[in-house]
Amino acid sequence: MIEPGAQVAALVIGTGYGGSVTALRLAQAGVDVHMVEMGMAWDTPGTDGKIFANTTTPDYRSYWLRTRTKQPLSNFLGFPLDKDVPKYTGILDAEEMGGIVVYQGRGVGGGSLVNGGMAVTPERSRFPGVLPSVDADEMYDVYYPRANSNLGVNTIDPAWFETAEAYQFARVGRKQAQRSGFRFTFVPNVYDWNYMKQEAAGTVPKSALAAEILYGNNYGKKSLQKTYLAQARATGRVTISPLHRVTTVTPTTGGYTVTIEQLDTSGAVTTTKTVTAQRVFFAAGSVGTSKLLVRLKATGALPALNNEIGTGWGENGNVMCGRANHLWDPTGSLQSSIPTAGIDNWVAGGAFAEVAPLPTGIETWASFYLSITNNPNRGRFTWNAATGKVELDWQTAWKQPSITMAKSIFDKINATEGTIYRTDLFGVYKIWGDHLTYHPLGGTVLNKATDNYGRLHGYSGLYVVDGALIPGNVSVNPFVTITALAERNIEKVIAEDL
């Protein structure tokens, strides 16, 4: 635990993908690193003997300081799904702002704790549209392979996929996609597929086959706790303070004065600490990093930050929908919580759709999808002096391009199959889940708010290392790109700045 008055060489704010890469590489370069994490450590079993709660039965561990759950699917067969829960520093933050719910992981490991593990490298032809100032050759020859190796990325055994009961839903998705002329692609993942085979055989405790995903995964998924953070801790140079929240960063002789609040599990501040850091690396996620920097600029703590701070935010074009299948097309009562595949219509229609599970434990005769679309709309974070809060300028209407792009896939599948959209998953007679994102990106864009390696303009020794650098959309699930970009940037920073 970080002590009041401590002096640290490198302070990393956040323990998600960018922060974990940064901490590991700094430590390997001989730098002592302290990481502060707003969420919990998630290393102690709860009352049921497990660290993480099940997706189907959310409890006190499931949500970040909410008294009622805010599930992505709010309704099922006409019944509301959300329920009251005790207020607790749980693992999933459903942060509501600007007409959108932004889902974020809270805890040591950040978003890696709560995502579906889909580890996708964008197609190379799309990369210049994502990060135009970054050398694509370097990324695809060096940094993407490095990221994939360190993250433990692997691919499902295609022969096992053909017979696995838990992937009947994905095989139905494939059949329907191909009958409508769409490309169906397997997607790599960080789940341990050998473990999942053992789950199916009944020889190990079930995890993906017990619907674990949204509120953490107890066994099979290789989250950052098992990969980058484990390596970082093994150097002996990295310490982590959970339930610590950074409130201010201001210049001082030889570095920066950083004020940190320590929280208890009710969210109350128990202690306020001030430490000094030679260098500060912002890795609090797209929303966390951007909100903090917008506030620090507006309140005069870091007034020299440029006017790009807070701009270029996007939701990776996320939109969800469900389709009702015919009775002769069952999707299976056992569904693995780990997605394996997607429908690619990016070039023609601007959409890539994950064939997502609905692990309810009953036959639903439904196909469910999370689409990533080429939505051009971008929001921005602004400071509201009257309320003393950072707000997101985003409108639900800006999701319309995402819906139109997703319809380029699902209208055609419905026409081919003679099926209809489900209208009971997101409210009453609501087809599209256009109120949310799992993939917040941007707000402190590379080569705009920072230089081309994440150094913040206006201040030496301040860096952004996370998804805030990526302007709004990567065309696929973003965490491999966030990881690879962090690998690229920290290598340059270590070579030139230390």
Q: How far is CA 449 from CA 332, 369, 468, in A?
A: 48, 34, 10
Q: Please state, in angstroms and rounded to a whole number, the distance separating the CA atoms of residues 232 and 391.
A: 34
Dihedral angle at the C-alpha atoms of 421, 426, 428, 430, nearest 10 degrees? -50
User: What contacts 21, CB < 8 A, 6 or more positions away?
Assistant: 147, 150, 228, 465, 483, 486, 487, 490
User: What contacts 360, CB < 8 A, 6 or more positions away?
Assistant: 56, 76, 333, 335
In the block, residue with structure tokens 């789940």: 191
Which position among 95, 439, 487, 491 bears the catalytic label? 439
Q: Please state, in angstroms and rounded to a whole number, the distance separating the CA atoms of residues 446 and 473.
A: 13
Q: Check if 34 is active-site.
A: no
Q: Are 155 and 186 in contact (CB under 8 A)?
A: yes
In the block, residue with structure tokens 């003679």: 418
Which position among 354, 417, 487, 491 bears the catalytic label? 354
485 forms beta bridges with: none
DSSP conformation letters of 331-348? --S---SS--EEEEEHHH
Q: Check if 354 is active-site.
A: yes
Q: Are 65 and 104 in contact (CB under 8 A)?
A: no
Q: Are 211 and 54 in contact (CB under 8 A)?
A: yes
In the block, residue with structure tokens 């953490």: 216
Phi, psi of 462, rounded to the nearest 5 degrees: -115, 130
E strand or H helix at 151: helix 144-151
User: What contacts 265, CB < 8 A, 6 or more positions away?
Assistant: 40, 88, 89, 243
Q: How far is CA 369 from CA 68, 78, 174, 312, 326, in A?
A: 25, 19, 12, 26, 17
Q: Are 118 and 477 in contact (CB under 8 A)?
A: yes
Q: Please state, in angstroms and rounded to a whole number, the distance separating the CA atoms of residues 400 and 315.
A: 13
Residue 460 exposure: Cα atoms within 13 Å on the Cβ side? 8
* Residues designated catalytic: 354, 439
